[in-house]
């Protein structure tokens, strides 16, 4: 294979498609009997509930209003009756209000011919307003509401379509892109208008040359034509810091921020602006060694993950851990009732063979973590400092540049929770720094 571009230090060459299976087409998942729609599906604050128990809602009706910072509008993914409004525990900690909708009545959108709206004449503010009203959020962590990301007062110089899968197992981005190149690129063009970015890039997976060529061909019609860059899919290549590193020499020096956007997000933007469709469904990868038939499904928000696993043939053996998102940065869940949210890129049922969980042992200073750390930190040393409560020393040693890729925890032969300890210490010191 010819030399392909990547970031400079650390990282891990993993088979990014491992155990994801080869999927021919993305199928719609069965509609759930009840959908549990969280009023907070990302970092930030919960939306204000607009419905009462027993109320009838139509497909796409606004059920959660966003009128403050960090909120995103929430819509009913199914037509039906509001069966319950209750507090549910979030996998990432804390709890939040959720609207439970029992499927009933008829669909306003599903199966109907889609109307297209012209957006070329829309102003930047109009587009932002539309994205806000339709509840569009980033489709992977940190999954901020797109309106927050794009705020009118911000200035962007660069827009990057990040078509790399973020982690092993994940397939949603690739599958979506392969099937919907035109729509994804149109969403990308809308975002170009919304950001007024002067430079555009496509970050494509170098190991999928056929797909990359198709995307490049389709992108040639856009103005300005985005520059294509094929990257080695080495974890964590998809993270903004690593992409910036790989793009460094291509980018002209320009004032302003860079926006990295995933195909699934661009697709949601397309649907919101062109089809006037709120965020009701998304692509979800169901994979892992404990899943019988791994697949990528188009899933309604609020579907319990148990339904998805069942649709994929159920479990093989007993799963050791169930994860929402990727294996390096995802969140483990307690049970199969957890619902799909706007940021659920994958549901993984991992077998013991994959988790390789073991008893914790003391650090033997083997240096494997430092070898992998893309930020060139010495995680073992930081871990010692943090464990001893020496946060200031840890900060001086670069704690704040930890990007929580999880590689140090992955390679640790002693199974220390290095990455978790560093992440929580980093967040604590950042918070303390702000309050001081």
Partner 1 sequence: MKKDLRMRIGHAPHIHALQSTASLMWGTIAALVPALVWGLYSFGLRAAMTTLAAILGALAGEALVGLVRRRFTLVDGSAFLSGLLLGLAMPPGVPLYVPAVAAFFATAFVKGAFGGLGANWMNPALAGLAFALLNWPQAMGQWVMPRQLTGIAGISGATPLGLVRESLAAGHAGSDPVGLISQAGYLFSPFDRSVTDFLNRVLFEPFGASLPSGYVDLLVGNRPGTIGEISGILLLAGSVYLLARKLIRWEIPAAIFASYALLSWVFGGLAQGAGFFAGDVLFNLFSGSFIIVAFYMATDPVTSPSRRGGMLVYGMVIGSLSFLFRCFGSRAEGSAFAVILADCALPLFEKIGAQSRRAAKAV
Shortest CA distance to 26 belongs to which of 187, 218, 173, 182?
Answer: 173
How far apart are the C-alpha atoms of 276 and 145, rounded to whole Å? Answer: 17
- Region 129-168 residues binding partner 1, contact defined as CB under 8 A: 168
Distance separating alpha carbons of residues 173 and 23, to the nearest angstrom: 12
Query: Between β-strands 227-231 and 199-205, what pairing exists: parallel, antiparallel or unpaired?
Result: parallel
Q: Using the structure block, give the residue that is written with the tokens 């997976």.
A: 205
Region binding partner 1 by CB under 8 A among candidate stretches 63-71, 152-160, 254-262, 309-317: 309-317
Estimate to the nearest angstrom the gap between the alpha carbon of 135 and the chain centroid.
15
Contact present, 409 and 420 (Cβ < 8 Å): yes
Question: Which tokens in the block code for residue 288?
Answer: 């892992």
* 383 lies in the site for partner 1, by CB under 8 A: no
Exactly one of 182, 240, 367, 433 binds partner 1 (CB under 8 A); which one? 367
Site string for partner 1, 261-280 (x = CB under 8 A): --------------------
| Residues 6+ away with beta carbon under 8 Å from 121 | none
**Exactly one of 43, 332, 391, 429 binds partner 1 (CB under 8 A); which one?**
332
Binding residue for partner 1, selected from 45, 363, 391, 429, defined by CB under 8 A: 363
- From residue 68 to residue 107, the character string flagging contacts with partner 1 as x (rule: CB under 8 A) and all else as - is -----------------------x----------------
How many beta carbons lie within 10 A of that of residue 391, not counting itself?
16
CA distance linking residue 97 with residue 85, whole number of Å? 7
Residue 188 binds partner 1 (CB under 8 A): no
Compute the least distance from the CB of residue 371 to partner 1, in Å. Answer: 8
Among 302, 330, 339, 374, binds partner 1 (CB under 8 A): 330
Nearer to partner 1, 220 or 366 (CB): 366
Structure-block tokens of residue 412: 């640790």
Residue selected from 66, 143, 184, 350 as contacting partner 1 according to rule CB under 8 A: 350
Distance in Å, CB of 102 to partner 1, minimum: 17
- Three-state DSSP at 153 gives coil
| 74-75: strand order across its sheet | 48-49, 62-65, 74-75
- Closest separation between CB of residue 149 and partner 1, Å? 23
Which positions touch partner 1 (CB under 8 A)? 9, 91, 168, 306, 309-310, 314-315, 319-323, 327-337, 348, 350, 354-358, 361-368, 370, 376-378, 380-381, 385, 393, 396-398, 406-407, 409-415, 417, 419-420
């Amino acid at each position: 294979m010819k030399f392909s571009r990547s970031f400079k230090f650390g990282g891990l060459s993993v088979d990014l498609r491992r155990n994801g299976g080869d999927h021919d087409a993305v199928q719609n998942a069965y509609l759930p009997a009840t959908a549990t729609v969280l009023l907070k599906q990302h970092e930030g604050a919960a939306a204000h509930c607009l419905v009462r128990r027993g109320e009838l809602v139509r497909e796409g009706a606004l059920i959660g209003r966003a009128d403050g910072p960090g909120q995103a509008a929430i819509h009913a993914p199914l037509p039906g009756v509001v069966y319950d409004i209750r507090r549910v525990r979030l996998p990432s900690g804390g709890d939040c209000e959720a609207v439970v909708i029992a499927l009933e009545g008829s669909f306003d959108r599903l199966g109907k011919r889609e109307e297209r709206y012209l957006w070329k004449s829309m102003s930047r503010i109009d587009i932002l307003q539309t994205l806000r009203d339709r509840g569009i959020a980033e489709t992977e962590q940190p999954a901020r509401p797109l309106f927050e990301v794009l705020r009118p007062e911000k200035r962007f110089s660069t827009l990057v379509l990040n078509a790399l899968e973020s982690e092993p197992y994940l397939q949603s981005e690739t599958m979506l892109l392969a099937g919907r190149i035109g729509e994804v690129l149109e969403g990308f063009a809308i975002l170009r208008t919304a950001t007024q970015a002067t430079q555009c890039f496509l970050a494509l997976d170098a190991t999928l040359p056929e797909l990359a060529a198709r995307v490049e061909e389709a992108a040639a019609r856009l103005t300005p034509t985005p520059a294509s860059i094929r990257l080695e899919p080495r974890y964590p290549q998809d993270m903004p810091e690593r992409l910036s590193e790989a793009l460094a020499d291509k980018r002209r020096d320009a004032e302003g921020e860079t926006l990295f956007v995933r195909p699934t997000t661009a697709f949601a933007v397309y649907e919101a602006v062109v089809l006037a469709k709120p965020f009701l469904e998304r692509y979800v990868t169901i994979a892992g060694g404990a899943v019988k038939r791994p697949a990528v499904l188009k899933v309604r928000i609020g579907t319990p993950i148990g339904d998805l696993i069942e649709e994929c043939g159920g479990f093989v053996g007993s799963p050791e851990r169930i994860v929402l998102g990727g294996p390096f940065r995802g969140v483990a869940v307690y049970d199969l009732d957890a619902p799909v949210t706007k940021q659920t890129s994958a549901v993984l049922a991992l077998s013991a063979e994959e988790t390789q969980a073991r008893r914790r042992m003391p650090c033997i200073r083997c240096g494997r973590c430092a070898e992998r750390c893309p930020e060139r930190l010495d995680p073992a040393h930081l871990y010692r400092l943090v464990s001893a409560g020496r946060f200031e020393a840890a900060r001086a040693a670069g704690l704040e540049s930890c990007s929580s890729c999880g590689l140090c925890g992955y390679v640790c032969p002693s199974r220390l929770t290095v990455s978790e300890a560093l992440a929580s210490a980093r967040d604590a010191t950042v918070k303390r720094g702000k309050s001081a």
